[in-house]
Amino acid sequence: MQRWVVLTGWLALYLAIGGVFYAAFFLSGWLVDYSPRAAKLKKRLQRPFNHRVSLWLHRLNFVAIALIWFHVHLIPRLYQLTGFIILFDCYTLVAYCWQHFVATDLAKNKGRVIGNRPLSPRVQEVTVKLSSQASPYQAGAVYFLSFRGRGIPAEWHPFSVASASQAAPPEVKLVIDRVGDFTKRIGQVPPGCPVVLIAMGVGIAPLQSLVQRYVGKRPITLLWSVHAPTERYFEGEFKDLAKREATFAYHSQVGRLTKERLATLLTESERVRAKVIVVGSAQGVLAIEGSLLGLGFKKRQFIDERLTI
């Protein structure tokens, strides 16, 4: 019995530690954002450790939880405490049922694809009409979707919302890439405070929905840098909006926004008062923020989303 207690305990510990290190390296920017060597290593390893492999490795957390459960039941001093074991099992069962049947209410989030068009050679826009039971979404939100169809993997993937919730039942436009959720943090921006939105590549997706949500309600400056002219798939929409709305300014360019270019595009008022939201690759976000700091911005003005996954 003692052998199984030790075995299950150590296996659970090793799996937990391995999961933490894997997440810290592949799923966060703690290391790769600040170490070019680590970033290069991650880029090389992303092919064998792709999204599907990451999902299966994530499921090892359930194995670790099961091992912990067995470990507790195998310890003689613990399984003799009937009250503790009953409480332990009940808590485990309630936590699982809550997560599986209550927190993830799939019935309210079903929908069907009503539009699917390419925005550029690398980016696709998918429009989904949600069911009538679906709750309204917020600008800048992210949906985890699983498409049901032949030849389409059933795993859940994050997609950024590039539209504002106006239709009923709501229609969601998704620009397919990995981006973040600004719903909670954008609410912290005081009314009337100018907002500077800086997007790199497909980082435009959540910022587009924020523009739709807050245009006319606060001064907004949108800066968008892309790798190629064909990647400016929302160019016409933003230019038309800039003509109609006096409080909305827009600029796009091919290539990275340099410190000198940012100095010409941003006003002194924005440097002092604006909230700055930056979305793009980890290295790109850090470079932009470094340039803004050199122009007199403060770190407390920044909200960023680093596309590291």
User: In CATH, what number is assigned to the domain containing residue 238?
Assistant: 3.40.50.80
For residues 295 and 150, give the distance between their C-alpha atoms in angstroms, rounded to a whole number: 52
- Number of structural domains (the chain) is 3
For residues 283 and 273, give the distance between their C-alpha atoms in angstroms, rounded to a whole number: 25
Tell me what pLDDT residue 191 has: 64
For residues 248 and 195, give the distance between their C-alpha atoms in angstroms, rounded to a whole number: 10
DSSP 111-172: EEEEEEEESSSS-EEEEEEEPTTPPPP-TT-EEEE---STTS--S-EEEEE-S-S-SSS-EE
Domain edge (last residue) among 60, 78, 103: 103
Tell me what pLDDT residue 235 has: 92
Give the residue carrying structure tokens 């587009």. Answer: 208
Claim to verify: residue 79 and residue 140 sit in the same structural domain: no
CA torsion angle for 237, 242, 247, 248 (degrees, to 10)? 50
Claim to verify: residue 153 and residue 246 sit in the same structural domain: no
Using CB atoms within 10 Å of the CB of residue 158, give its burial: 0 to 12 exposed, 13 to 18 middle, 19+ buried. Answer: middle
Claim to verify: residue 35 and residue 115 sit in the same structural domain: no
Q: Encode the chain (309 residues) as per-residue pLDDT tens digits.
A: 788 889 999 999 999 999 888 888 887 777 877 788 888 888 788 778 876 777 788 888 889 989 999 999 899 888 788 889 999 999 988 988 887 777 655 545 677 778 877 777 767 788 888 777 776 677 667 777 776 655 555 666 667 777 766 655 578 887 765 444 444 455 556 666 789 999 998 889 888 888 988 888 889 999 999 998 988 889 999 999 999 999 999 999 999 999 999 999 999 989 998 999 999 888 889 899 999 999 999 998 998 887 765
Claim to verify: residue 73 and residue 24 sit in the same structural domain: yes
Claim to verify: residue 298 and residue 204 sit in the same structural domain: yes
Task: Give, for 85, the enclosing helix (H) or strand (E).
Answer: helix 82-97
| Separation of first and last alpha carbons in the chain | 42
Asked if residue 122 lies in contact with residue 140, where contact means CB atoms within 8 angstroms, the answer is: no
Claim to verify: residue 227 and residue 154 sit in the same structural domain: no
Asked if residue 106 lies in contact with residue 130, where contact means CB atoms within 8 angstroms, the answer is: no
Claim to verify: residue 114 and residue 224 sit in the same structural domain: no
**SS3 of 55, please?**
helix
For residues 29 and 33, give the distance between their C-alpha atoms in angstroms, rounded to a whole number: 5
Claim to verify: residue 130 and residue 31 sit in the same structural domain: no
Asked if residue 206 lies in contact with residue 230, where contact means CB atoms within 8 angstroms, the answer is: no
For residues 72 and 80, give the distance between their C-alpha atoms in angstroms, rounded to a whole number: 11
Domain edge (last residue) among 159, 175, 191: 175
Query: CB atoms < 10 A from the CB of 219, how many?
Result: 22
Domain edge (last residue) among 103, 123, 147: 103
255: phi > 0 → left, psi -120 to 50 → alpha, else beta; which?
left
Claim to verify: residue 259 and residue 208 sit in the same structural domain: yes
Tell me what pLDDT residue 107 has: 47
**SS3 of 203, please?**
helix
Claim to verify: residue 205 and residue 276 sit in the same structural domain: yes
Tell me what pLDDT residue 277 has: 93
Query: Which residues form the domain of 273?
Result: 183-306
Claim to verify: residue 187 and residue 302 sit in the same structural domain: yes
